Structure 1
Amino acid sequence: MKDYPLIKYVLFFVFGILGANSFSFPFQYIFSSFVIITIIAILLQIKKNKFSAFLFLLSSILFGSVYSSICDNGNVQYPFEKTKISKTVISGKIENIELLHNNEFKLLISTDSVNINDSAIALHTKIQCNISSEANKKLEKLYDKLAIGNKLKLIGTLRKGRDKRNPGEFDYYKYLQSKEIAGILYVREIKNVIQTDFSVNLFYNSIFEARKWISNRIDKLHNRETASLLKGLLLADRSEIDYRTKESFINSGVIHVLAVSGLHVGFIVLIFMFLFSRVSIYPRTILIIIGIICFLLITNSPASVFRATIMIVVMFMVYLSNRKYSSLNSLAIAAFILLLINPAEIFNPGFQLSFSAVASILIVYPILSSKIKTENKALKFLLLFSAVSFSAQIGTLPFTLIYFQKLSIIALFANLLVIPIIGIIVGLGVLTIFVSIFSTILAIYFGSANMLATNILMEIVNFTGTQQFSFLFIPNFSIIDGIIFYVYFSVIIYSIQKFNNIYASIILYLLIGLNLYFILQIDDKQLLPDNLLSIVMIDIGQGDGIFIKFPNGKTALIDAGNANLDFDNGERIITPLLRRLSIKQIDYGFISHVDSDHYKGFLYLIKNGWIKEIYKPQIDSSQQKDLDLEQIINDCEVKLNYYSKTKMSFGNVRLYILNDTTNYEYINFDSNNNSGIIKIIHGNNSILFVGDAEKESERLMINEYGKFLKSDILKIGHHGSKSSSSQVFIDQVSPKIGLISAGLNNSFGHPTKLIIDRFTSSDVKLYRTDLEGAIIFQSNGKLFTKINWR
């Protein structure tokens, strides 16, 4: 550490920031302690007392804590009780404009006032405004007209950002809070965006205009796939890269190439060095520094680019002054400056991944490279390249597992192929944009070459990211696990440098590996433990999706929500949840009925091998969607059953299918009344699932089953619609608890006030996914317990 004095002070500064956000101490005590200890440390340093070094470290911790507390304005909160407010009028100034894509662009508005129901409120906060329209030309005209610094009045629907609705899900509301954004205003008509002041912030608007110009050039000279990739690589705008492409990059272990980082800054520096190669040393260095600062601004200054820019600027300055360059010290300088600008960056995944990757490369790579003794130049280059990639991956591994829950097995191989191609794509991208200033025809040729390179890249990523052996799911990796990993990793690094006996090293590494394997499992907690009946009503918006884990480990899924081109509940909600719960396959899939908000999410699950066996109503050959569904089930070789009166046993749990949709009584029923009716009994506990069954089906069940319908929990029919849940049916079931699956602020008005009042007057406790997100109940056979999964 003597050669890297900055590192220890910056590390302790970071510890101070983390401490301020983890513990609550009176600010005056921390500030007073910081001042006193710093003064004592300075006095001791003047007297050359060695104890001053320890006090300066302690002072660094206190400084981090004090500075973080000063910069913390408190979490920005959504300011209203209602999560959706129509016809909201906000007035304020444009702070940022995002690039236009898919008939939508976003503004960041610093508000002066908010008007709700003709009542104006002075409110100084930040609101993200999503402006969209089917009228493309008018939207583009508005987009081109607006400038950062303009003042606007906007009319739209104000919403709270989506919080974590299911276990393991991304918390968008918390993300908005980290950006100091209170809510989102959705504006659907161009006429509802009114400019009230045409003032312009020349600096920030010039950066936006440069981004817009580059984006337009990229769009005109490339196909959509290449354009979306280039915007990610050159402008740090990944909004046009689709979900499945991102998943393939994650699975391949190469997702880092999509985030503009030091890798891309390195490519940009090489381009500038080539362009200015004939310029003398001092002007060339200044031009390169100006170039990478411009690149930093054009990418909107993400942490990884900021870090790389600082390190490169420091490197060039040290080089010009003929002093010794220390990468670790420059890394510490970059971290310190970034955290001085915003201490909250320490919690930004981009910051964590970027700095841990570079730190690991700087520490681990020299050790690994010193062990490579081969004289074969090609092999040596390959091994050194692999060592760099491995060093970065091992350093970021805890953060990768925490944020993505995936361990890529194929990452080392994939990076060997992907990184050189990314270098080509970045180089060609910059060249294409530059050449287009002088010759569009020549730029088209370069753009075509880049489209070929992108196609090759996507083929590699899609192949490596879709193999079953590509990655492992590690769903329960925690922050504590990460700390333990780094401790053991440090021991390994130390032992590599100190141990010369290869056999002793192997034994040590095996012991460390086994120890690490068992220790990392100590804090693992099963959300759905064995030997209990677990019922998870998944929040899949307006629809149904209920996951069941039986005490013997068998699993079932009743409905899977909707799916369309923009969002597939089966892929985006249910699959990640199953992986988070360490579920490898669903034994029984129950499609209550063939309405889109119940069955469409199943299509992805069936096609991707998640479902072993399906139960559904008797096929309705007059419905093409039913014919298509059964065709998919048959093509995927999933066993198909129609609802008929059946009893199934899962250890001490019994599942009854109560209706027979093949029976003549159901022939004239509509889709809702053909819903499969399922009752589960576990010891003294019972739960009844009725899909979207309406009053006709309810009457039939009452006549046929009478008191057998009585259940502790009722999954309320048709999302709380007034067409279901007749009073006589409620009286017959006599539930203590009612579960309602409905979308937040859904357009159907579900659940209706009539139904809520009807259950409330019957002393039924209601739980709703629109209000709570996912709802979990567990049964031990004697009583049901509601689980707080948050």
Structure 2
Amino acid sequence: MIYLIKFFTHKTLFYALSILVAAIAAHESVRLLMLLGLLVLYCIYRRIEIFHIISVSVLGLVAFFYFSILLKDLNKPLQLPTVLTWTGEYKINGSKLRGFMEDDEGRIVYVLYEFQSEEEKRFHQSIPLVGKQYVVEGVVVEPSKPPHKYAFSMENYLKGKGAKGILEISNWRFVKTKTSFSQRISSHRYKLIKHIESTFPQTLTAEAQALLIGYQEQVDHETSRAYQILGITHLFAISGLHIAIVSFMFFQGLLRLNVRREIATIVLIVILPIYAILAGGTPSVWRSVLMVELVVLIRYKSHLTVDDALCVSFICFVLLEPWSIYQVGFQLSYLATAALIFSSHIINRFSSWIVQSFFITFVCQLLVYPLLLFHFYEMSISSFMVNIPFVPLFSFIILPINILLLVLTFLPGPFASIMFWLYEPCRLFITKLIEVLQSLPYQLWNPGKPSLFLLAIAFVGVFITFYLLDIRDKWYKVVISLLLPILCLHFSGKAFNELKISFINVGQGDSILIELPFQKEVVLIDTGGLLRFQQEEWKMPSPPYEVGRQIVVPYLKGKGINVIDKLIITHADADHVEGAEEILKEIKVVEIHISPGSYKKEIMDDLITEAVKQQIPIKEQLSLNHWKVQNVTFQYVWPDETTYEGNNDSLGLYIKKGNFDALFTGDLEKEGEYELISKLPELKNIDLLKAGHHGSKTSSTEEFINQLNPSLTIFSAGENNRYGHPSKEVVERFNQLELSSLVTGEVGTIEIKVEEEQLKLETTYTRENQ
């Protein structure tokens, strides 16, 4: 019998699936309980004992009602003022303290507090907040909506944490420290974090904190991104192998101290949950701890199999925290572990450890790759080879060395200093090697975010591939079953025959994406950015918020865009260009178009430096410069002169496809508008206009609008922005002329599809057709 069928004969799996269905139905809709009926029918088909069929049904229904009551309690309004207690999940960054607090009923509340002074910030940085109780006053607000469908969603994040809304604290008063076992352990964790900061060299601090206690706040973005590209991010997290190694070292240490094996086993079982709390208590940590504990029990006192142990740990976890099923780490952790368990006999066919290492990575990546694409829109191809040397390197050398170094820092004498002197150059060499490896091209596969239908196809392909490997079928069948879904995923985002124009909601700024049919040409006009105002250093967040990296790049990757053929920077203002550097680092750009002379402005320096580094040509453009791809014509209609003076020298781009035409004006103001319509009197009755200067009253003059007479106008402006864009005067002008308009800050990202004579419109927050 194939291993997949064996997997479904284990009774605990059905109980785990019934719990999963109950949790999803409680969160989403009672109608999803129909899946429980399908599960029961499958149990009957598999001729499972009637006792188990009844038990699976009853457990699923009882769990559904239990979860529903639990979630209903979480949704009860918070009565303010109230007493809240800090959990171990919080972060101080810049002038803000964010994190999770707990009320007297055990409900989790996400809070935001802004420090009033640098002294107050330093005080809260100097103490562990976990267990601290405060009487708080403030207001509960809804989480902000994501700027587009591929962006980080605060609402989904809170959903995965079992928290509702955001409490913005206006005033609080310390009451006492609520002591408990977990609070004491968390306090020791804080002290350990500070101890590592004070005793380890700065270059080794972030790694030691991440590997030993799961604290990753010190890991910088560049390092994190390098690990993502190579597909070895999991090495910086506390995984099952990590827990197993720590457990083995602890267990063997007890045996060397002549502790009886039975006593050592009991001590290990008691110590592991304490380590889970010390390591931050993330889903992957608890899953690993539960698995190791169950395996220990299996070995000594139980007949439970390893796959049953995985299911039991899943049931325990979801019963305690039903919202955890929405956490990406939880999903990936259990899927990867399941892949290893149920493909172990396939891996064991090979005697070579190198081949085994490759297949370990292969089966893990194979089972989780659809989920990786759904959440992150890309995956590392190089991980299949890079993990072969790096997994044993981190697991059996770097991790034990960090444990040894931590122990030595508590001992008197020069031992720690000598070890640091020996180890730090070696570790820096490995860091340099990682930097070199991650810089190699074509390591990431980015097909974009798959639909639920494509996600299902991908998982079907995965299970068929496992089945064929299990029965040792011909290799070409394995390759076909694997590649067909991958090809569907890769080309699905490019399989469209219309012109697409997206106005990305970047807040107070511009960023417009133009995609030709089948993505034959991709043009990005401006990249958004922030107008950064001078503020005290202690108030500045680290790393700073970056529009390019955090809004534009996810949108491009979510759509499966790997190459930007032309990046157009209309002019040298921060809200149009500041995000460009981050985009260049993540997405390949073929060439850059700028307004003549704008490269001399300081705000362009980062873009110019990165473009020169990557040898990307930068071309200054003037009116009448044009190009054509397929049946789409691109023509610059502005500026006319080479002297750059600001907004009125913004690049103006006119696009025409059949009977459709559009004009994108950057920050063009009234002087430029008058000259443009004087120069091009034939430019009238257009279909789409990107209003100049975010709808400022210094632009969109009546004469300009009357001549263009656009069917639809888009104002790219942030919600409740400080400038009052678009101006009420301008909006009223459009209303009086009965011209349709939309504001990105109000409706989110706007996606327009040009199909023959029709414009199809979709926005992040609403849907319309025109």
Tell me whether the two structures share a fold, i.e. TM-score over 0.5.
Answer: yes
Do the aligned partners of 1:110 and 1:125 also contact (CA within 8 Å) in 2?
Answer: yes
Q: Distance in 2 between matches of 1:346 and 1:629?
A: 41
- Deviation at residue 490 of structure 1 after TM alignment: 4.4
AA partner of residue 483 (structure 2)? Y
User: Per-residue CA shift, 1:462-511, capped at 9, x if unaligned?
Assistant: 33333224332232445555544554544554555545xxxxx32xx313
Among 642, 646, 662, which residue is 2:641 paired with? 662
Q: Does 1:362 align with 2:341?
A: yes
Distance 1:434 1:490, change over 3 A: same
Do the aligned partners of 1:777 and 1:784 also contact (CA within 8 Å) in 2?
Answer: yes
Alignment of 1:103-502 (within 5 A): 103=94, 105-110=97-102, 126-131=109-114, 135=118, 138-141=121-124, 144=127, 146-153=129-136, 160-184=142-166, 194-277=172-255, 278=257, 279-321=259-301, 323-324=302-303, 326-372=305-351, 380-423=352-395, 424-439=397-412, 441-447=414-420, 451-452=424-425, 454-496=427-469, 498-499=471-472
Q: What residue ranges of structure 2 are gaps of 5+ in the alignment?
A: 1-5, 533-542, 766-770
Alignment of 1:511-590 (within 5 A): 511-519=477-485, 526=492, 530-551=496-517, 553-562=520-529, 566-590=544-568
Q: Distance in 2 between matches of 1:777 and 1:367?
A: 49
Q: Does 1:93 align with 2:66?
A: no
Do the aligned partners of 1:221 and 1:444 also contact (CA within 8 Å) in 2?
Answer: no
AA partner of residue 518 (structure 1)? L
Q: Does 1:63 align with 2:59?
A: yes
- The equivalent residue for 1:84 is none
AA partner of residue 311 (structure 2)? A
Q: Distance in 1 between matches of 2:124 and 2:109?
A: 25
- The equivalent residue for 2:536 is none
- Deviation at residue 619 of structure 1 after TM alignment: 0.5
1:767 partner SS:
strand
1:182 partner SS:
strand
Q: Distance in 1 between matches of 2:77 and 2:674?
A: 46
Q: Distance in 2 between matches of 1:743 and 1:392?
A: 42
User: Per-residue CA shift, 1:647-692, capped at 9, x if unaligned?
Assistant: 43333333332223426xxx5x741111122222333322221111
- Deviation at residue 546 of structure 1 after TM alignment: 0.5
Q: Does 1:7 align with 2:13?
A: yes
Do the aligned partners of 1:481 and 1:520 also contact (CA within 8 Å) in 2?
Answer: no
Q: Distance in 2 between matches of 1:537 and 1:482?
A: 27
AA partner of residue 182 (structure 1)? K
AA partner of residue 109 (structure 2)? K
Do the aligned partners of 2:86 and 2:129 also contact (CA within 8 Å) in 1?
Answer: no
Q: Distance in 2 between matches of 1:30 and 1:252?
A: 38
Q: Distance in 2 between matches of 1:421 and 1:210?
A: 29
- The equivalent residue for 2:699 is 724
- The equivalent residue for 1:598 is 576
- Deviation at residue 387 of structure 1 after TM alignment: 4.1
Do the aligned partners of 2:133 and 2:177 also contact (CA within 8 Å) in 1?
Answer: yes
2:173 partner SS:
strand
Do the aligned partners of 1:361 and 1:388 also contact (CA within 8 Å) in 2?
Answer: yes
More relative contact order in 1 or in 2 (CA 8 Å, sep 6+)?
A: 2
The aligned length equals 736
Distance 1:622 1:364, change over 3 A: closer
Among 17, 24, 32, which residue is 2:30 paired with? 24
AA partner of residue 234 (structure 1)? L
AA partner of residue 161 (structure 1)? P
Do the aligned partners of 1:234 and 1:299 also contact (CA within 8 Å) in 2?
Answer: yes
User: Per-residue CA shift, 1:591-640, capped at 9, x if unaligned?
Assistant: 11111111232334456773333332221587444577657656624141
Distance 1:749 1:275, change over 3 A: farther
AA partner of residue 538 (structure 1)? I
Distance 1:630 1:413, change over 3 A: closer
- Deviation at residue 199 of structure 1 after TM alignment: 4.7
- Deviation at residue 771 of structure 1 after TM alignment: 2.3
Do the aligned partners of 2:639 and 2:650 also contact (CA within 8 Å) in 1?
Answer: no
Do the aligned partners of 2:24 and 2:32 also contact (CA within 8 Å) in 1?
Answer: no
- The equivalent residue for 1:759 is 734
Q: Distance in 1 between matches of 2:640 and 2:609?
A: 19
User: Per-residue CA shift, 1:753-788, capped at 9, x if unaligned?
Assistant: 333333333323332222222111121242221035
Q: Distance in 2 between matches of 1:460 and 1:629?
A: 26
Q: What residue ranges of structure 1 are gaps of 5+ in the alignment?
A: 45-49, 81-87, 113-123, 373-379, 500-504
Distance 1:528 1:110, change over 3 A: same
Distance 1:589 1:306, change over 3 A: closer
User: Per-residue CA shift, 1:246-290, capped at 9, x if unaligned?
Assistant: 222222121222232212211210221233122111221122222
Q: Distance in 2 between matches of 1:484 and 1:632?
A: 40
- The equivalent residue for 1:376 is none
Q: Distance in 1 between matches of 2:143 and 2:677?
A: 43
When normalised by structure 2's length, the TM-score is 0.84
Do the aligned partners of 1:633 and 1:640 also contact (CA within 8 Å) in 2?
Answer: no
Distance 1:578 1:141, change over 3 A: closer
Q: Distance in 2 between matches of 1:14 and 1:684?
A: 52
When normalised by structure 1's length, the TM-score is 0.82
Do the aligned partners of 1:99 and 1:212 also contact (CA within 8 Å) in 2?
Answer: no
Do the aligned partners of 1:414 and 1:461 also contact (CA within 8 Å) in 2?
Answer: no
Among 550, 573, 597, which residue is 1:619 paired with? 597
- Deviation at residue 97 of structure 1 after TM alignment: 4.2
Do the aligned partners of 2:572 and 2:598 also contact (CA within 8 Å) in 1?
Answer: no
Q: Distance in 1 between matches of 2:423 and 2:376?
A: 29
AA partner of residue 561 (structure 1)? G
AA partner of residue 96 (structure 1)? T
1:691 partner SS:
coil
Q: Distance in 2 between matches of 1:382 and 1:30?
A: 41
Do the aligned partners of 1:386 and 1:416 also contact (CA within 8 Å) in 2?
Answer: yes
AA partner of residue 340 (structure 2)? I
Distance 1:496 1:419, change over 3 A: closer
AA partner of residue 331 (structure 1)? L
Distance 1:225 1:330, change over 3 A: same
User: Per-residue CA shift, 1:201-249, capped at 9, x if unaligned?
Assistant: 4334213211210110111123445322333333333233233322222
Aligned CA RMSD, in angstroms, stands at 3.9
Q: Distance in 1 between matches of 2:527 and 2:128?
A: 44
User: Per-residue CA shift, 1:156-184, capped at 9, x if unaligned?
Assistant: x9764344323433323211122233344
1:658 partner SS:
strand
Q: Distance in 2 between matches of 1:748 and 1:183?
A: 28
Query: Percent identity over the alignment?
Result: 21
Do the aligned partners of 1:559 and 1:589 also contact (CA within 8 Å) in 2?
Answer: yes
1:144 partner SS:
coil
Q: Distance in 2 between matches of 1:315 and 1:730?
A: 73
User: Per-residue CA shift, 1:108-152, capped at 9, x if unaligned?
Assistant: 23479xxxxxxxxxxx87232254577267433565274524123
Do the aligned partners of 1:272 and 1:291 also contact (CA within 8 Å) in 2?
Answer: no
Distance 1:736 1:225, change over 3 A: farther
